[in-house]
Chains A and B, each alone.
Chain A
Amino acid sequence: MRSTAGSTTPTGTVTRPEAAGRVRRFTTAERWVHRTTGLLMLVCLVTAGCLYLGPLAQLVGRRHLMVTLHEWSGILLPLPVLLGLLSPAFRADLRRLNRFAVYDRQWLRAVRRRRHGPGARPAGKFNAGQKLYAGWIAGAVLVMMCTGLLMWFMGLLPFVSRTSAIFVHDILAWAITFVVLGHLRKALEDPEARLGMRTGHVSRSWAERHHSRWLGEERAGTVSEKAEKADKV
C-alpha cells in the first residue's frame, strides 16, 4: 500500500502490520489475559456440569477432584485480569469498556429495533454490547466467588445461611452459562474478531465496518496526545 519510490525493502517481505492494512487490536498481554480467563472459565463451567448434572456426574464421578478443580479455577478466575492491570494497554481497554459514548446508545437502539444497515450500529473499539457484557460478567464472577467462598468456608458470614449462598450460586451459574454461550456464539459468527483475539491484529476494513468510530478516535487521541506534549515543551 505505502510503496515509496526507491524503497530498499523488496515487496512481499515482512512489513509492519499497519502497513499491510492491518490494525493492532490487542497486545500480547491482553490476549493472555483473555486466554487464561477463558480457560479458567471453561474449567469452572465443565466441572460445575460434572458436579451438578446427573448424567455427567454419573459418567465422571470423582467428586472430590471435580470439587477441587472447581474451587481453584473459580478462585483464580479474577487473577489474569488483576495481573493484566500491570499492562497499560489493558488498563486503557478497561477504560474504553467502562465509558459509554453517545453512539453506544444508538447501537443499543439499533439492536433493539433489529436495524442492520451500514452505519446503523456505530461503535468505538468496543461496541455497547461488549461494554455491557464486560461489566456484567465482572460483577457476576465476583458474586460467584463470594457465594462460592460462603459455601466453601461455612460460617464466614454467620447471618447468611449456606442454603442461601447455594441458591444464588446456582441461579447465577445458569445465567453465566447462557451469557458465555452467547459470547462464544458472537465469536463463532465473526472469524475476523477471533483472528483479532488470536493474533492481535485485524484488517482495517473490518475495523471500519464493525467499529466505525475506533480508528478515528485513536487518531484524535494521538493528535491530542501530541498536542499535550507540544504544550508541555
Chain B
Amino acid sequence: MTEKPKRGSEGPPVGRRAMLGMLGAGAAGLAAAPWLQRGWEDFLAAASQVDATGLTGLLPDPGGFRYYSVVGSVPRKDETNYALRVTGLVERARSYTLDQLRAMPQTRVVHDVVCTDGWRVEKTPFDGVRLADILDDAGVRSPGAAVRFTCFDGAYSESLTLEQARRSDVLVALNMQDKPISHEHGGPVRLYVAPMYFYKSAKWLSGISVTDKVVPGYWEERGYAVDGWLDDADRHGDAA
C-alpha cells in the first residue's frame, strides 16, 4: 500500500461523480429519447435545407439512406450484363433482362423505408414490376410455398412466404425516388418489401427461386426475424 496517497490529501470523489453523472445522463437520455429524437429530426430537417456542405449527413440519425453491404466489393451491372433468373418450383424457368423488366407493367409503391438500425426515410416512392406478376409469368407449381432471393453481390439472400410475395406492395423495383436505382442503393434491380424492415428488401437482386418452405436469408441466419414486419413502435405514429 505504499502508493496510497496521504489520507489528509483526499478530496471529494470527483472522478466517481463524473462517471455516475455520465451514467445518469445516459439513463435520462434513454428515457427522453423519443422526444429528443423528434426534436433532433426536426432540427436536422431544417438544417439540411440550408446546409450546402452535406455535413449534416454525418450527424446522428441524419435521415436519408445508409449504405450497407455484407461483402467487400460488389460488381456493377447494367443493361448489357444484368439478368434476373426465376427458377425453382415454377412451370417455366425465366430470365429477364433489364429492358424486359422495364417493358412490363410498372407499379408505384410509396411507403416509409425503415431500417432496424433506427434510420428511416419517409414516403419513398419505388417503381417496378410487382413480384406477383413475375411469379404468375413463371407459374408457381406445387409444392411451391415460399420464395428465396439471391443477389449478385454473391452473398446476400432473402426470403418471403408465397403469400407475402404476392402482396401488392412487394416490388421488383427499378426506380427509387423517380430515378433508376443506383449501384449504391442496390441497382439496377432490388427488391422492395414495403411492409417490412428494409433488410427484407434485398439489394442487387439477381435470382428468384420458388421453394417448398422458407429458406432463411443472410441476416435471418444471423439472428434477425424471418418475418420482418414493421411494428407500430417503429412507425411514425400517423405518418404510416
Contact = CB atoms under 8 A, between A and B. Distances in A.
Given A97-B15, A99-B13, A167 B37 contact: yes
Nearest to B27: A143
A95 interface: yes
The secondary-structure label for the interface of chain A is helix
B11 A104 contact: yes
B70 A64 contact: yes
A226 B159 CA distance: 74
B71 interface: yes
Interface stretch (B2-10, B127-135, B172-180): B2-10
Nearest to A161: B233
A134 B15 contact: yes
B9 A167 contact: no
A157 to B, nearest CB: 9
A142 interface: yes
Interface stretch (A15-23, A170-178, A183-191): A170-178
A60 B6 contact: no
Interface string A61-75: 111100000000000
- The interface centre, meaning the residue of A54, A102, A217, A225 with most chain B CB atoms within 10 A of its CB, is A54
Given A57-B69, A164-B37, A221 B15 contact: no
Contacts of A135: 14-19, 22
B55 to A, nearest CB: 12
Contact of B14 (A58, A132, A224): A132
B167 interface: no
Contacts of A136: 18-19, 21-22
A79 interface: no
Nearest to A96: B5
Contacts of B14: 98-100, 104, 131-132, 135
Contacts of A95: 4-5
B29 interface: yes
A54 B3 CA distance: 48
A173 to B, nearest CB: 8
Given A61-B69, A139-B26, 15 more contacts: A58-B67, A92-B1, A100-B14, A131-B14, A134-B15, A135-B19, A136-B21, A138-B22, A139-B18, A143-B22, A162-B234, A166-B117, A168-B30, A171-B29, A224-B6
Interface of A: 52-54, 57-58, 60-64, 88-89, 92-102, 104, 124, 131-132, 134-136, 138-140, 142-143, 146-147, 160-168, 170-174, 217, 220-222, 224-225
